[in-house]
Amino acid sequence: MTSLALACVLMSVGLYGLLTRRDIIAVLASIEVMLGGAQLLLAAYSASVTLASPAQGVTLIVLATIAAEAAVGLALLVALVHRGRTRTDQIEEVRG
């Protein structure tokens, strides 16, 4: 229960940063925080089930996937910075 609370707090913090920060790097870092909180939740859950080893395996796989996401996000960042845009309000492609 406490671990759940901690994980939820971390996710909330990360979400706040995602919604609020103006610089793209900060947004990416906040995403990392949020996803880290999710991983913690997963790990804590794994600790309460009978068969823990598959659970650890699952968390491992999730970890790898999220690391891949971080890499792609940074690549996007580099591409954007090269075009001179470093703030979130400069990205307007998906505008309705």
Partner 1 sequence: MSVTLLWWALAALTVAGAVAVIATREMMRMLLGLGAFLLGLAGFYAWYGFELLAVAELFVYVGGVLVLFLFAITSMGRDREGRSMERRLDLGALGISAGMGLVLLVALQSTLPAAPTAVGASVEDTAAALLGPLLPYFELAGVVLLVALVAALAIIGREDAR
Partner 2 sequence: MNVLREMAYLVVGVPLLIAVVLGLGVRVWGRAAAWIALLGPLLAVAVGASSLEGGASGSVRWLAAGDSVLTLGYHVDGLSAIMLLVVGVVAACVIVFSIGYMHGDRGYVRYFAILSLFTAAMSGLVIAGDLVGLFIGWELVGACSFLLIGFWYEKPAAAEAARKAFMVTRVGDAAMLVGLAVLWRATGTLELSAILGSVGSLAPAVVTTAAVCLLLGAVGKSAQFPLHIWLPDAMEGPTPVSALIHAATMVAAGVFLVARTWPLFEASPEARMVALVLGTITALGAATIALQQTDIKKVLAYSTISQLGFMFAALGVGAWPVAIFHLVTHAAFKALLFLTSGSVIHGSGTQDLREMGGLRSKMPLTAVAWIIGGLALAGIPPLAGFFSKDEVVGSVLAAAPWAGVALLAASLLTGAYVARATRLAFFGPVRGTGEAHESPWTMTVPMAVLAVAAIGLGFAGPSIAAVLGAESEPLSLGLAALAVGLAGAGALGGWLLAAGGGAYENGFPPALTRVWGAARDGYGFDALVNGAIVRPMAALARFTDSVVDRQGIDRVAEGFAGLARGVGEMFARTMTGDGQTYSALLAAGAIILLCITMWLVR
Piece of 1-9, 39-47, 74-82, 84-92 that binds partner 2 (CB under 8 A): 84-92
Per CB under 8 A, does 5 bind partner 2? no
Per CB under 8 A, does 72 bind partner 2? no
Name residues whose C-beta falls within 8 Å of residue 83's C-beta, 6 or more positions apart in sequence.
Answer: none
Instruction: CB nearer to partner 2: give 48 or 92.
Output: 92
What binding mask, one character per residue, do residues 55-94 give for partner 1 by CB under 8 A, x or -?
xxxxxxx-xxx-xxxxxx-xxxxxx-xx---x--------
DSSP 88: G
List Cα–Cα distances, 64 to 50, 60, 70, 96, in angstroms. 24, 6, 10, 34
